[in-house]
Structures are given as structure tokens and as C-alpha cells.
Structure 1
């Protein structure tokens, strides 16, 4: 996927791929040299390697369903390129290739030139970096429940009424 195209979609809700196990809808947080960062409702922050993305969709009419409010101070791992992201996630519990038969999760132990080592249960898995389509490490934004929104607005109204 072209970096300039991805930059034009920054801070918009997009759908990655048309379907299948890697397809997700989310808020485009950042664009790196060879990856982009997507915040999703259910999976949190996901890093996609652009070389494996088949399509990006934006819905100009109705919008894609995304009901999270992204806090201004939301923090997540960043880096200039996908290799940097991998290095910055060393010793984190990660999920790789989030869907399908190639999904695996474990602790990212080592990042080499062409491979990563992931410790999963009692297995030491060497995975080619080229075959990493996406990865996540659990950073999430908690969804505000409707009841909490209503109680917050009621509390603000009461506060305003008492000040008047």
C-alpha cells in the first residue's frame, strides 16, 4: 500500500482488506515507512505490514462502524519502520497474524535481520519477518458504556446547575 495514500487517510476510520481473517475496521493512528497502526474496538492497536495489505476501504456515505473515542493522550508503541516496531515490542506478549491458521501468540524474545523468535508455552518459534502480516500487543481503549456517558452528563449538568 502506498505511503502517500495511507497518509491521506490518517485519523480516519478505515477497513483493512475486504474480508478474511486479517480484515479489521479501525481508526488509523499512524503511518510508518512500511507499516501503519490501526486502533480497533476489539483487538486494540494492530500494526500492519503494508506489503501484505490487499485493500483499504473508506465508506464515504454511511461511515464504517467504529464507536471508540480515542483519548488525546492515548499512548502506544511507535517506530519509523516495521523493524523498529518489532524491536520496541521485544519482551512483550504479542499476537502475530491475528487470524487464520498462521496466528500465534507469545513473548517476542529476539528480533533478527530476517526472523523473530517468539516463546509460546514450551516452544521456541523462529518466524520469518517477511511472513508477519500484522501484530498486536494489547494496548486498548476501553469503550465507554452508554450508562457511564449518561451518568457523566447528568453529573456535569448537576455541577453546572449548582454553580448557577
Structure 2
């Protein structure tokens, strides 16, 4: 398949027909297991196993002369090794795209330093890679900074919402406490009123009993006096009570 691609060296081509791995550029290298194109953002290397096809731009300019590159005699992993300790972009988009410092390469995997973390990727799953230039790195960092700023804003909003929720809960608790205190005061007042009524009833009952006792005592004394006078009257008349 690479021999078919070789005849388009120097042509403006599109690698893959769509998706994040699709790019336009001048086909500059076709090796045993990879190809490379030169685009506006620099050189990009594709593993042939992930190239679904290329298309030649019909309106492209005449074929350009491409100088021979040292990469032509290398394999894909050897090209990766040539960029060790440099910033590279693995894959062009989607969740599998990552930018980091290439620390280690082997036939099966590579190691990247990404934000103080070691990321290990299988070589088989690397669709493409390209060196990261300073302006692209700054753009990437700027994007990360923008995302960080957005996250900070979200955190502030969440914090404010949490504070408002806590304040509402405090106000509800304070209102509930005030209602409980008011209910307790009303209950205590009712109990005091009830106790006062009971005391008043007890006093009235005691007073009534005292009046009744005094009345009975007077009646007894009155009856005793009447009997005594009656006996005296009979005696005065010379009668004897049998």
C-alpha cells in the first residue's frame, strides 16, 4: 500500500477523509510503516495501519520538490525516539489526544510527562504524532488556563449557592426555635392560669366549708337553748317531765 502512496509524494493531499485525524498537507515521506505530511502547523507523522486513505487535491499546485529526509529509512518507533525529551502531540483530537514531554519509547509503548503525571500509551494505538512548537504550546496552555478559570468560576458559584443554602437553613432553624419558645411561653402561661383557677376554687371550697360549719354550730346552740327553756317552763308549772 505504501508504494501506491509513494507516487503522490510532493502532492497536496488529505489524509483520511474526515474526523479529527484528517489533515491537509504536502505528502513528504512514505516509509515502511508510516507516512508524513508537511502542513501549515508543521510536520505530522501517521502510522500506516491507521491511515484509511488519502485523497489528492485536484486544484492543487504543481508537484513540489521534496528533499530527502533522514526519517525515510526509519520505522515509526524510531521516529518517535528521535523526538525524545521534546514536547509532542499524540493524536489530533478526541479523548485519545494528549500533549506532553516524551520521556521514553520502546517497540510497544511510550511514556509522556503530562501535568506532572506519567502517561503510558501503547504504540499500536498511536494514530499520529507531531512535535509541538512554542506557539502551539502556549495556545494549549492558554486553553488550559481558560478552562481553569471557568472551573474557578464554577467553584465560586457552587460555594455561593452552598452559603446561601446554609443561611436559609439557619434562618429556618432560628424561626423554628422562636416558634417553639413562643409555644412554650403560651403553654406555661396557660398552666399558670389553670393553677391560679385551681387555687381560687380551693379557697372558695374552704370558705364554703367554714361557713357551713359555723352555721351548724349556731343551730346546735340554738336548739340547746330552746330545750333548756322548755324544761324550765315545765318546772315552773309544777309539771314533771316523765
TM-score bucket (shorter structure) = 0.7 to 0.9
- Using structure 1 for the length normalisation, give the TM-score: 0.72
Any idea what SS the aligned residue of 1:51 has? helix
| Corresponding residue of 1:111 | 105
| Corresponding residue of 2:47 | 49
| Corresponding residue of 1:81 | 75
Q: Which runs of 4+ in 1 moved over 4 A?
A: 70-73
Relative to its length, the structure with more strand (as a share) is 1
Q: 5 Å matches for 1:55-74? A: 55-60=53-58, 62-63=59-60
Q: 5 Å matches for 1:12-27? A: 12-27=11-26
Displacement of 1:109: 0.3
**Larger Rg, first or second structure (1 or 2):** 2
CA RMSD of aligned residues (A): 2.4
Q: 5 Å matches for 1:89-128? A: 89-128=83-122
Q: Where does structure 2 lack aligned partners over 5 or more consecutive residues?
A: 134-242
Displacement of 1:6: 1.5
Displacement of 1:72: 7.4
Q: Where does structure 1 lack aligned partners over 5 or more consecutive residues?
A: 65-69, 140-164
- Distance in 1, Cα, partners of 2:104 & 2:75: 17
Displacement of 1:101: 1.5
Displacement of 1:138: 3.5
Count of aligned positions: 131
Relative to its length, the structure with more helix (as a share) is 2
Q: Any idea what the Cα deviations from partners look like across 1:113-145, whole Å, max 9, x if unmatched?
A: 210000011110000000000000046xxxxxx
Q: Tell me if the contact between 1:115 and 1:127 (Cα under 8 Å) persists in the aligned partners.
A: yes
Displacement of 1:77: 6.8
Q: Tell me if the contact between 1:77 and 1:88 (Cα under 8 Å) persists in the aligned partners.
A: no
Any idea what SS the aligned residue of 1:136 has? strand
